Structure 1
Amino acid sequence: MSNKSVIHTDKAPAAIGTYSQAVKAGDTIYLSGQIPLVPETMEIISDDFAEQTEQVFKNISAVVEAAGGQLSDVVKLNIYLTDLSNFATVNEVMGRFFKQPYPARAAVGIKELPKGSLVEIEGIVVV
């Protein structure tokens, strides 16, 4: 018998492909990548990188809370950036959402993201 469950909340953007917002297996939650879509409109919040990053963290927070956790339960984040010069801005925005001890993290520069997003973040949470 599987102890796997799909996590969904209307407080985060609906999936735009064949994936779930998150999947919980035991006490571990696997977060799908979030881009800066506003849940109510399913549109990118703006062209501003800091605003996009803030929206992504809001979306992640909503999914984590729907799974019964909180941001302090995040153990690993993978951040995808179309421009690595935005790395310092990611740190600044992330600092508004997370306190020490911070989760483990990777930041990867890539060519392109869905819907023209400048940032996408996925993660692992343990509750």
Structure 2
Amino acid sequence: MRKIIDTQAAPKAIGPYSQGVISGGLIFTSGQLPLSPQTGFLVKKNIENQTRQCLENMRAILLHADADVSDVVKTTIYLTEIMRFSVVNEIYNDFFIKHGANYFPARTCIEVSKLPLNAMIEIEAVAVAP
């Protein structure tokens, strides 16, 4: 059985996909771009703000599914410039600690040539459903 996640607290999908799906005891978030849920536009174009927004969007989807950051078991990060990884890593570290995670999920980070809407970063997650 599958359940689709649809919340106003995260940006609406910009294509034919769901914000997230619950299936088999897991929550799968779609890749989250650094879009403001209120405006639908990219946040200020620097890696710090964009990373924080991607993570907050991911968290909003998880919260709608009655989960939180501490339930995340795997993330994938897509960066247009891998040399920005150290900055992303610091923000990512602080975010997981701030939201009560007592471990860090498995993670993959991939450099890509381009992301939708010319974003610098996109983050997706898999979490354990409550």
TM-score by length of 2: 0.93
Q: In structure 1, which of residues 102, 105, 110 is the aligned counterpart of residue 104 of structure 2? A: 102
Match of 2:42 in 1: 44
Gaps of 5+ in 1: none
Matched, 1:121 2:123: yes
Report the 3-state secondary structure (helix = DSSP H, G, I; strand = E; otherwise coil) of the residue aligned with 1:40: coil
Distance 2:39 2:117 in 1: 13
Q: In structure 2, which of residues 8, 11, 15 is the aligned counterpart of residue 13 of structure 1? A: 11
Q: Which has the higher strand share?
A: 1
Match of 1:75 in 2: 73
Q: In structure 1, which of residues 73, 89, 92 is the aligned counterpart of residue 90 of structure 2? A: 92
Distance 2:6 2:66 in 1: 11
Gaps of 5+ in 2: none
Q: CA deviation at 1:20?
A: 0.1
Distance 1:96 1:57 in 2: 11
TM-score by length of 1: 0.96
Q: CA deviation at 1:97?
A: 1.4
Instruction: Report how many residues are paired.
Output: 125
Q: CA deviation at 1:35?
A: 0.4
